[in-house]
Chains A and B, each alone.
Chain A
Amino acid sequence: MEAGFPELIDTRGLRLAIDDAFNWVVIEWGRQLELAFLPVLRLLNNIEDGLLWTPWYIVILAIAGIGYLATRSIATAIGIVVMLFLTGLIGLWEPAMATIALMLTATFLAILVGIPLGILMSRSDRMQSIMLPVLDVMQTMPIFVYLIPFVMLFGPGKIPALLATIVFAVPPVIRLTNLGIRQVDAEVIEAVTAFGATSTQRLFSVQIPLALPTIMAGINQTTMMALSMVVIASMIGAGGLGYQVLQGIQRLEVSRGLLAGLAIVFLAIIFDRIAQAYGRRVQQHLHNS
C-alpha cells in the first residue's frame, strides 16, 4: 500500500459530519418540507388520475390532436395514434399514463423554476458566473446521487422521485433562457432603451419574445431529460414504466424490460416531436425572410 495516496485526513469523520448535518435537517425539517411539497404531489396525482379516468381513446385522440396542431402533419398525428395504441396493446397503458403525469409535472415545475432563474442569470454577469459551474455540477453528477438526500427527506415515494427528476432536468431550460436573452440583438435592446423602456418593459416586450425559440429548445431538452429520468426515479417509488423496467431487472425478465423500454421510446418520440414543432413555429415567426 506504499504507492497509495497517503491518508492525510480522516474522511470517515468528514462523511460522518455531512451525514449528521443532513440527518439533523431531516429530523428538524422533514415534516415541514413534506407539507410544503404536498401541493406538488396533489398536482401530480390529479394529472395521473385525470389521464386514467379519461377513456383511453380520448387520451390518444387528444395527444394526437396536440401533435397535429404543433406539426400540421397528418402523418405525425397518425404515428402518435399508432404508438399510443401499441403501448396500450402491450398492457402498459396505466404505467405509461403515470410516466406521462410525472414527466409533465416535472417539466412544468422545471420551467416554472428554470425560466426565472435563467432571466436572473442573463441580467447579471456575476449571477452567471456563479450559476454556470453549479449547472455543470448538476448535469455531471451521477443521477443516483440525487436520490439519496431526497429519499431521506421524504421517504420513498412520488415526491422525491419528482424532485430528483426536476433537479436533473432543469439545467437546460435555465441555460438556454440565459443564452437566448443574451443573444438578443444588442442594437434592438439599445433602441428600446433609447425610447425610454424600463428594464421590465424591455424584458417582456423584447427580450423574452425574441429569446423564445432558444427557450423552447431548452424546454424540449428538459422534457427529454425528465423522460430519461423515469427509470431511475422508479427505484425510489415513482412507479410507471420505469418500475416495469426495474421489475424486469429484478426478475430477469427480458420481455418485461424490453416492452417497457419500447413504450418509453414511444413517449420520447411523441413529446420530442411536439416540443420541437412548437420551437420551430416560434422560430419561423421570427426569422423567416
Chain B
Amino acid sequence: MSSSTPPRDPKISIEHVYKIFGEDPQSVLPRVETGASKREILEETGHVVGIRDISLDIASGETFVVMGLSGSGKSTLIRHINRLIEPTAGRILIDGEDVLTLDEKQLRAMRRQKISMVFQRFALLPHKTVLANVMYPLRVDGVARDKAREAAMEQIETVGLAGYEDRYPRHLSGGMQQRVGLARALATSADVLLMDEAFSALDPLIRGDMQAQLKELQSKLHKTIVFITHDLDEALRLGDHIAILNDGELRQVGTGEDILLHPADDYVERFVRDVNRGRVVTLASTKRDATTLAASELSRARLIELIERDGVDAVVVVDGENRPVGAVSEATLYAGRNEPDAWWTDTGNLPMPEKASDDTVLAEVLPRFAGHSTPLVVVDAEGRVVGRMSATDALASLANDDG
C-alpha cells in the first residue's frame, strides 16, 4: 500500500488504531477487525466505525498531511495524537512513548509542552485580547506573567501581528485570527504541531498566504507538523508525505509525487485526476535517459553514430565527473560540417546546454522551452547529468494519466 519507506526513527507512530463510536465499542471491535463493513456495523449494532486499522509513521521535522473528504475520519485521527479522543484499540507512540499509558497529569504535561494545536474555526478565547490568547497556553503551564508575555510577543511578531496584541479576536479578519491561533500554538515551543483544517475556513487568497507563511516558518523551525485538509492542492503544497483517508481507512501514504504518479487504487486516482500535476511532478520522475558522451571520446563521427543509434535529437558531452560541458544537436553537426576534426575535439567550441535541477517541478521548466526546442539537461544536486527533458516529453507528462 505505502510506496515510501517508513522513517527509521519516527517522531509519531500510530499503530493499528481503531475508533468505534457507540454504546459499547469493545463488543463490536472483533467484528470490525475481521472486516465487517462500516454499513453492516451501523445497521446491526448502531455503532459508527470512525477509524479502522490505521498505522502511520511520521518523521521528526516533516510536514505530514492527512487528507480526506468530510467523514473520512481525518479529524478523528488527529485528535488521537493528543488524546482528545481515546482509541478503541491500537497504540500511539510519540518519541517512542505510548501516550495511552499516560495518566491525567502526564497527559496534561504532554499537551502543555510537547504538542500544540491549531483549529479550523480558530477557537480563540473571545473574551481575551490577542496577547492574552497567545499567552494562554503558557499561563496554563504556570509560566510567570512577564516571561509568558515576552514569549507571546515574540510569536505575535513572528506571525506578523505586532501592533494588534491589545485587540480582541472579533476585531480581526479570519486570516489574522488564524495567525493568532498559529502564534498561540507556537508559543509553547512544542515540537509537534497539530493543524486541523487550519486554513479551510479562510478565503483562497488568504489561504495561499497562510500556506506560504507556514512553509517559511517551517523551514526555520522544523517542527513535526500533522496537517489535516480536504484540499488536495493544499496537501501537495505543504506535505512532505501525504496520507489519503477514505471512510476511516488509509488508502495510500507517500510523497505528493508518488500519489499523483502511482495512485494506489481507483479512489485515489479519481481524487488526483484533476490536480495540476505541473506544480508537483518533478523532473526526477519524468526525465528521459540522456545520451551522453565523455569529452575524452569526442569526435564528429562518434556524435553522429550516437544520434543515429539512440534516435535522439542531441548528445550531451560530459566531463570525467559526468557534468555537462556541451551539447550537440543535429543542427550543430550540420553547422560545423566543414570544421576540421581538431575543432570537433575541443569542447570549448560546443554550445552549453540549458540545465535544470532534477527537483524542479514541470510547471517551472515549461517557460524555458519558449522560443527554442532544445531539450533541457537534467542534473542532480552535484551537477551531474541524470537525464534530459524535451518540451514534448514535458507536455506529455502533464497530460498523461499515468506518467
Residues of A bordering B, CB below 8 Å:
185, 187-188, 190-198, 201, 205-206, 209-210, 285-289
Contacts and interface: CB of A to CB of B under 8 A. Distances in A.
A215 to B, nearest CB: 13
B119 A196 contact: no
B112 A196 contact: yes
A188 B125 CA distance: 7
Contact of B84 (A194, A209, A286, A287): A194
B117 interface: yes
A187 B119 contact: yes
A150 B115 CA distance: 56
Contacts of A196: 107-113, 137, 140-141
Which of A197, A198, A201 has the most chain B CB atoms closer than 10 A to its own CB? A197
A78 B218 CA distance: 62
Given A187-B123, A286-B127, A194 B82 contact: yes
B116 interface: yes
12 contacts: A185-B123, A188-B123, A188-B125, A191-B117, A194-B111, A194-B194, A195-B140, A195-B184, A196-B141, A205-B136, A286-B127, A288-B170
A197 B140 contact: yes
B188 interface: yes
Q: Is the interface of A mostly helix, strand, loop or mixed?
A: helix
Q: Please tell me the size bucket of the interface on B.
A: 20 to 34
Contacts of B117: 191, 194-195
Contacts of A289: 170
Contacts of A192: 125, 136, 140
Contact of A210 (B82, B123, B127): B127
A190 B125 contact: no
Contacts, number: 65
Contact of A201 (B84, B140, B188, B194): B140
Interface in B102-140: 107-113, 115-117, 119-121, 123-127, 136-137, 140
A190 B108 contact: no
Contacts of A285: 127
A200 to B, nearest CB: 11
Nearest to A194: B117
Nearest to B181: A191
Given A188-B124, A201-B140, 4 more contacts: A187-B121, A191-B119, A196-B108, A196-B110
B124 to A, nearest CB: 8
Contact of A195 (B121, B126, B127, B136): B136
A197 B188 CA distance: 13
B340 to A, nearest CB: 77
B170 A195 contact: no
A194 B195 CA distance: 12
Nearest to B132: A205
Contacts of A191: 117, 119, 123-124
B111 A195 contact: yes
A190 B123 contact: yes
Contacts of B119: 187, 190-191
A15 B360 CA distance: 92
A185 B121 CA distance: 11
A131 to B, nearest CB: 25
B305 to A, nearest CB: 68
Interface string B17-58: 000000000000000000000000000000000000000000
A289 B169 CA distance: 9
Contacts of B111: 193-196
B123 A195 contact: no
Nearest to A186: B123
